[in-house]
Amino acid sequence: MKELKDRILKHGTALNETVLKVDTFLNHQVDAKLMYEMGSYFKEYFKNHGITRIMTIESSGIAPTAMTALQMGLPMVTLKKQKSKILNGDVYQTTVHSFTKVMDYELTLSKNYINKDDRVLIIDDFLAHGEAALGAIRLVEEAGATVAGIGIVIEKSFQAGRSKLDEMGYDVYSLARVSKLGKDLIEFLD
Protein backbone atom coordinates (compact mmCIF):
# COMPACT_ATOMS: atom_id res chain seq x y z
CA MET A 1 0.00 0.00 0.00
CA LYS A 2 1.87 3.00 -1.30
CA GLU A 3 0.15 5.65 0.88
CA LEU A 4 1.08 3.68 3.99
CA LYS A 5 4.72 3.20 2.96
CA ASP A 6 4.99 6.93 2.15
CA ARG A 7 3.54 7.77 5.56
CA ILE A 8 5.92 5.39 7.34
CA LEU A 9 8.88 7.02 5.57
CA LYS A 10 7.62 10.52 6.36
CA HIS A 11 6.45 10.09 9.95
CA GLY A 12 7.79 6.75 11.21
CA THR A 13 10.78 6.59 13.55
CA ALA A 14 12.99 3.58 14.05
CA LEU A 15 13.64 3.57 17.82
CA ASN A 16 16.36 0.97 17.26
CA GLU A 17 16.95 -1.93 14.87
CA THR A 18 13.74 -3.69 15.89
CA VAL A 19 11.05 -1.19 16.99
CA LEU A 20 9.22 1.19 14.66
CA LYS A 21 7.26 4.07 16.16
CA VAL A 22 4.23 5.27 14.19
CA ASP A 23 2.41 7.28 16.86
CA THR A 24 1.52 10.12 14.49
CA PHE A 25 -1.02 8.10 12.48
CA LEU A 26 -1.60 4.62 13.99
CA ASN A 27 -0.63 3.98 17.61
CA HIS A 28 -1.49 7.26 19.35
CA GLN A 29 -2.89 9.87 16.97
CA VAL A 30 -5.03 8.02 14.43
CA ASP A 31 -5.53 9.10 10.81
CA ALA A 32 -9.08 7.86 10.17
CA LYS A 33 -8.89 8.44 6.41
CA LEU A 34 -5.74 6.33 6.14
CA MET A 35 -7.44 3.64 8.29
CA TYR A 36 -10.39 3.68 5.89
CA GLU A 37 -8.07 3.21 2.94
CA MET A 38 -6.42 0.28 4.74
CA GLY A 39 -9.92 -1.19 5.06
CA SER A 40 -10.38 -1.11 1.28
CA TYR A 41 -7.07 -2.96 0.74
CA PHE A 42 -8.02 -5.66 3.25
CA LYS A 43 -11.49 -5.94 1.73
CA GLU A 44 -10.08 -6.32 -1.78
CA TYR A 45 -7.62 -9.04 -0.73
CA PHE A 46 -9.98 -11.04 1.50
CA LYS A 47 -13.27 -10.53 -0.38
CA ASN A 48 -13.43 -14.14 -1.65
CA HIS A 49 -12.28 -15.84 1.56
CA GLY A 50 -15.80 -16.40 2.93
CA ILE A 51 -15.07 -14.31 6.03
CA THR A 52 -17.92 -14.12 8.58
CA ARG A 53 -16.24 -12.20 11.43
CA ILE A 54 -13.23 -9.95 11.89
CA MET A 55 -11.10 -10.01 15.03
CA THR A 56 -8.41 -7.78 16.38
CA ILE A 57 -6.39 -7.28 19.53
CA GLU A 58 -6.80 -4.19 21.69
CA SER A 59 -5.90 -1.44 21.30
CA SER A 60 -4.00 -0.38 18.18
CA GLY A 61 -5.60 -2.98 15.92
CA ILE A 62 -9.06 -1.51 16.55
CA ALA A 63 -9.00 1.46 14.14
CA PRO A 64 -7.95 -0.34 10.93
CA THR A 65 -10.12 -3.33 11.84
CA ALA A 66 -13.24 -1.22 12.44
CA MET A 67 -12.80 0.38 9.02
CA THR A 68 -12.38 -3.04 7.41
CA ALA A 69 -15.47 -4.39 9.19
CA LEU A 70 -17.43 -1.35 8.06
CA GLN A 71 -16.39 -1.84 4.44
CA MET A 72 -16.97 -5.60 4.45
CA GLY A 73 -20.28 -5.31 6.35
CA LEU A 74 -19.13 -7.87 8.95
CA PRO A 75 -19.17 -8.06 12.77
CA MET A 76 -15.95 -7.12 14.54
CA VAL A 77 -14.71 -8.52 17.85
CA THR A 78 -11.84 -7.10 19.93
CA LEU A 79 -9.76 -9.62 21.87
CA LYS A 80 -9.02 -8.22 25.31
CA LYS A 81 -5.69 -8.22 27.08
CA GLN A 82 -6.16 -9.16 30.73
CA LYS A 83 -3.59 -9.34 33.50
CA SER A 84 -4.84 -12.57 35.02
CA LYS A 85 -6.91 -15.61 34.19
CA ILE A 86 -10.70 -15.43 34.44
CA LEU A 87 -11.84 -18.53 36.27
CA ASN A 88 -15.24 -19.16 34.76
CA GLY A 89 -16.29 -21.07 31.68
CA ASP A 90 -17.56 -18.08 29.71
CA VAL A 91 -14.33 -17.19 27.96
CA TYR A 92 -11.48 -18.66 25.95
CA GLN A 93 -8.07 -17.49 27.19
CA THR A 94 -4.47 -17.97 26.20
CA THR A 95 -1.19 -16.51 27.48
CA VAL A 96 0.73 -14.27 25.07
CA HIS A 97 4.23 -12.91 25.52
CA SER A 98 4.94 -9.37 24.34
CA PHE A 99 8.57 -8.86 23.34
CA THR A 100 8.07 -5.10 22.93
CA LYS A 101 6.57 -4.64 26.41
CA VAL A 102 8.51 -7.55 27.97
CA MET A 103 5.44 -8.95 29.70
CA ASP A 104 2.82 -11.70 29.48
CA TYR A 105 -0.92 -11.11 29.25
CA GLU A 106 -4.05 -13.23 28.95
CA LEU A 107 -5.72 -12.80 25.57
CA THR A 108 -9.44 -13.21 26.16
CA LEU A 109 -12.44 -13.96 23.93
CA SER A 110 -16.00 -14.30 25.21
CA LYS A 111 -17.76 -17.44 24.00
CA ASN A 112 -20.71 -15.17 23.04
CA TYR A 113 -18.78 -13.64 20.14
CA ILE A 114 -17.61 -16.69 18.19
CA ASN A 115 -19.33 -19.71 16.64
CA LYS A 116 -17.73 -22.90 15.41
CA ASP A 117 -18.86 -22.21 11.85
CA ASP A 118 -17.19 -18.78 11.78
CA ARG A 119 -14.46 -18.04 9.23
CA VAL A 120 -12.39 -15.40 10.97
CA LEU A 121 -10.11 -12.69 9.58
CA ILE A 122 -7.58 -11.62 12.23
CA ILE A 123 -6.16 -8.09 11.80
CA ASP A 124 -3.40 -6.46 13.85
CA ASP A 125 -1.28 -3.32 13.64
CA PHE A 126 2.16 -5.01 13.71
CA LEU A 127 3.54 -8.48 13.07
CA ALA A 128 6.89 -9.06 14.78
CA HIS A 129 7.52 -12.45 16.45
CA GLY A 130 3.96 -13.58 15.77
CA GLU A 131 3.04 -14.11 19.42
CA ALA A 132 -0.10 -11.96 19.33
CA ALA A 133 -1.32 -13.48 16.04
CA LEU A 134 -0.61 -17.02 17.26
CA GLY A 135 -2.55 -16.29 20.47
CA ALA A 136 -5.52 -15.05 18.46
CA ILE A 137 -5.31 -18.16 16.25
CA ARG A 138 -5.32 -20.42 19.34
CA LEU A 139 -8.53 -18.78 20.63
CA VAL A 140 -10.33 -19.02 17.28
CA GLU A 141 -9.34 -22.66 16.84
CA GLU A 142 -10.20 -23.57 20.45
CA ALA A 143 -13.70 -22.32 19.65
CA GLY A 144 -13.79 -24.76 16.71
CA ALA A 145 -13.87 -21.89 14.18
CA THR A 146 -11.54 -21.38 11.20
CA VAL A 147 -8.85 -18.74 10.66
CA ALA A 148 -9.57 -17.71 7.06
CA GLY A 149 -6.86 -15.05 6.87
CA ILE A 150 -4.53 -12.73 8.71
CA GLY A 151 -4.27 -9.03 7.81
CA ILE A 152 -1.34 -7.00 9.09
CA VAL A 153 -0.82 -3.26 8.78
CA ILE A 154 2.98 -3.28 9.25
CA GLU A 155 4.96 -6.50 9.03
CA LYS A 156 8.57 -6.49 10.20
CA SER A 157 9.71 -9.18 7.80
CA PHE A 158 13.12 -9.53 9.44
CA GLN A 159 11.50 -10.95 12.58
CA ALA A 160 10.18 -14.49 12.80
CA GLY A 161 6.39 -13.96 12.81
CA ARG A 162 5.76 -14.00 9.07
CA SER A 163 7.69 -17.19 8.39
CA LYS A 164 6.04 -18.95 11.37
CA LEU A 165 2.57 -18.13 10.04
CA ASP A 166 3.55 -19.05 6.45
CA GLU A 167 4.93 -22.41 7.62
CA MET A 168 1.66 -23.12 9.44
CA GLY A 169 -0.20 -22.50 6.18
CA TYR A 170 -2.07 -19.31 7.05
CA ASP A 171 -2.89 -16.75 4.38
CA VAL A 172 -1.11 -13.58 5.55
CA TYR A 173 -1.54 -10.24 3.78
CA SER A 174 0.52 -7.26 4.98
CA LEU A 175 -0.01 -3.69 3.79
CA ALA A 176 3.64 -2.76 4.36
CA ARG A 177 6.59 -5.13 4.77
CA VAL A 178 9.60 -3.60 6.50
CA SER A 179 12.85 -5.41 5.73
CA LYS A 180 15.27 -3.29 7.76
CA LEU A 181 15.29 -0.70 10.56
CA GLY A 182 18.18 1.35 11.88
CA LYS A 183 19.21 4.88 12.74
CA ASP A 184 17.50 7.11 10.13
CA LEU A 185 16.78 3.98 8.10
CA ILE A 186 13.52 2.28 7.15
CA GLU A 187 13.57 -0.12 4.19
CA PHE A 188 10.76 -2.16 2.62
CA LEU A 189 10.77 -5.66 1.19
CA ASP A 190 8.65 -4.80 -1.84
Q: Does 131 bind ligand 5GP (CB under 6 A)?
A: yes
| DSSP 8-state class, residue 25 | I
Alpha carbon 101 to chain centroid, angstroms: 16
Candidate residues 63, 108, 126, 175; the one interacting with ligand 5GP per rule CB under 6 A:
126
Q: 89 or 169: whose CB is closer to ligand 5GP?
A: 169
Say whether residue 27 binds ligand 5GP (CB under 6 A): yes
Size of the site for ligand 5GP (CB under 6 A): 19
Q: Is 12 in the site for ligand 5GP (CB under 6 A)?
A: no
CB-based contacts of 105: which residues, under 8 Å, 6+ apart? 81, 82, 83, 95, 96, 98
Task: Report yes or no: 12 and 20 within 8 Å, Cβ to Cβ.
Answer: yes
The smaller minimum CB distance to ligand 5GP, of residues 19 and 143, is found at 19
Give the x-and-dash track for 67-96 against ligand 5GP (CB under 6 A): ------------------------------
Examine residue 125 and tell whether it contacts ligand 5GP (CB under 6 A): yes
Q: Please report, as a single letter, which amino acid is at residue 41.
A: Y
Q: Does 54 bind ligand 5GP (CB under 6 A)?
A: no
Q: Which stretch binds ligand 5GP (CB under 6 A): 19-27, 74-82, 113-121, 140-148?
A: 19-27
Q: In angstroms, what is the minimal distance from the CB of 22 to ligand 5GP?
A: 6
- Rounded Cα–Cα distance for residues 69 and 55 (Å): 9
The upper half-sphere exposure of residue 109, i.e. CA atoms within 13 Å in the direction of its Cβ, equals: 26
For residue 160, how many other CB atoms are within 10 A of its CB? 14
Of the candidates 152, 162, 94, 95, the residue with the CA atom closest to the CA atom of residue 124: 152
Does residue 179 contact residue 157 with C-beta atoms inside 8 Å?
yes
Exactly one of 39, 108, 124, 147 binds ligand 5GP (CB under 6 A); that residue is 124
The contact set with ligand 5GP (CB under 6 A) reads: 19-21, 27, 57, 60, 98-100, 124-132, 161
